[in-house]
């Protein structure tokens, strides 16, 4: 164990090859959140830089495995279980591996962890990228609103745009370096504006929870931090007031949807979700151990009586359940539900263990707290959206969890 800690504490080797690999990966950490929703390129730039870093120094990544210790082993066992469940579903239903999507790419988590441990990039790179990403997302949202788009969506759909903005918000708030309060407030306000202008109701509880956690940990960390907390709270209220008309419009739309569904009309955003949840429940009851096949929820929809010709309901064109739990249950049965619980539960447990270390003077600005917030945000957003049906959201979650786990293993909780 002592030798493993020495790997983390020793200076980074001063060779041209390893310095180049580290520079590439540091750039990847900036580009990952910066390009995620503020540009049309998504995760591609960060993926290219990460691949180049790995090709330059695969030996350094391999050497980091012992320093990671048992947390990496626990995470590896968790993702292997998820891979086994997904593979079983693909084989049983004779589907293609493409149908598994990001569910089959969960090995990205331990790989990202090893890259952070091996290349020792500065944590501030990820925070700086998140700041750029949130400010960029806010600008994109304002421009699209001025262009009379009903909902800001960047280069994705409005739901994914908002959900990813909440993930970036968690990074900006909880990874903040010392002395960067002003730019953190600016980025936070820009993120709240982007989320509000997207009109995505499912992202609002997650954004609110991030702000509540941030305010609580700052307010309980000393007098100076309490001032920061109240300042952040005040500016958050101002940002909310800016987007209040759009928020009111979406709330009114929800009320109309509920009234329509009560009158027997399911062809609305909320009505469609209720119908899809019912189909998912029926499918889980009918095939509790196999489901309809990973990534193939459209089979459940197409078999529904409401979706038969000549007059299928309008929501029958949807290919996923608009919620992670019903989606995984309907497509992979009980094993899928267990796999989803493991995929969220294991990293949340690893992060929570680190957060609860005492004393932890910098708990409010720790990678462990940021990682825990990312998992919680993803779970909350997944209550009203199939996060794994979109490559951007699923890939972002896997990569960020791995990166933040690596940073949490590097940080010393007892350091002031």
What is the Cα–Cα distance from 29 to 9, expressed in whole angstroms?
21
Per residue, the 3-state secondary structure of 277-304, as one string, reads HHHHHHHHHHCCCCCCCCCCCHHHHHCC
C-alpha distance from residue 412 to each of 5, 8, 237, 358 (Å): 11, 11, 34, 11
**Confidence at residue 244, expressed as pLDDT on a 0 to 100 scale:** 67
In contact, 60 and 21? CB cutoff 8 Å: yes
**Confidence at residue 1, expressed as pLDDT on a 0 to 100 scale:** 46
Q: Which residues contact 332 (CB under 8 A, 6 or more apart)?
A: 85, 86, 89, 290, 291, 294, 339
Structure tokens at 411: 């940080």
C-alpha distance from residue 283 to each of 253, 278, 298, 355 (Å): 30, 9, 12, 39
What are the average pLDDT values for consecutive 10-residue runs of the chain, which has 416 residues?
A: 59 89 97 97 96 96 89 96 94 86 86 95 96 97 93 91 96 88 89 89 86 75 61 69 70 80 79 88 94 91 83 79 93 96 97 78 76 96 89 95 95 62
Helical H runs in 356-390? 367-381
């Amino acid at each position: 164990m002592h030798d493993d800690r020495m790997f983390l504490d020793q200076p980074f080797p001063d060779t041209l090859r390893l310095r180049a690999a580290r520079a590439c990966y540091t750039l990847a950490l900036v580009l990952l959140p910066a390009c995620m929703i503020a540009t049309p390129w998504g995760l591609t730039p960060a993926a290219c830089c990460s691949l180049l870093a790995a090709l330059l120094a695969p030996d350094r990544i391999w050497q980091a495995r012992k320093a990671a210790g048992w947390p990496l082993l626990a995470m590896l066992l968790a993702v292997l279980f998820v891979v086994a469940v997904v593979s079983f579903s693909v084989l049983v239903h004779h589907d293609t591996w493409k149908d598994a999507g990001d569910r089959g790419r969960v090995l990205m988590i331990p790989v990202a962890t090893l890259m952070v441990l091996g290349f020792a990039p500065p944590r501030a790179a990820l925070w700086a990228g998140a700041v750029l990403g949130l400010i960029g997302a806010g600008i994109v949202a304002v421009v699209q609103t001025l262009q009379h788009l009903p909902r800001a969506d960047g280069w994705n759909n409005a739901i994914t745009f908002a959900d990813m903005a909440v993930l970036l918000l968690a990074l900006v708030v909880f990874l903040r370096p010392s002395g960067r309060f002003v730019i953190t407030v600016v980025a936070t306000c820009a993120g709240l504006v982007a989320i509000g202008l997207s009109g995505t109701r499912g992202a609002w509880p997650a954004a609110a929870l991030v702000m509540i956690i941030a305010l609580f940990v700052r307010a309980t960390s000393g007098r100076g931090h309490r001032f920061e907390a109240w300042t952040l709270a005040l500016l958050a209220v101002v940002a909310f007031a800016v987007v209040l008309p759009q928020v009111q419009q979406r709330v009114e739309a929800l009320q109309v949807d509920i009234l329509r569904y009560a009158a027997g009309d399911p062809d609305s955003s909320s009505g469609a979700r209720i119908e899809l949840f019912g189909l998912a429940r029926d499918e889980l009851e009918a095939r509790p151990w196999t489901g309809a096949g990973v990534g193939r929820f459209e089979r459940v929809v197409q078999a529904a009586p409401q979706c038969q010709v000549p007059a299928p309901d309008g929501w029958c064109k949807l290919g996923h359940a608009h919620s992670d739990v019903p989606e995984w249950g309907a497509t992979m049965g009980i094993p899928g539900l267990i796999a989803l619980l493991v995929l969220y539960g294991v990293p949340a447990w690893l992060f929570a263990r680190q957060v609860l270390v005492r004393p932890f003077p910098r708990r409010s600005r720790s990678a462990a707290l940021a990682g825990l917030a990312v998992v919680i945000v993803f779970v909350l957003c997944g209550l009203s959206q199939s996060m794994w049906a979109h490559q951007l959201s699923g890939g972002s979650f896997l990569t960020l969890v791995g990166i933040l786990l690596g940073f949490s293993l590097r940080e010393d909780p007892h350091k002031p």
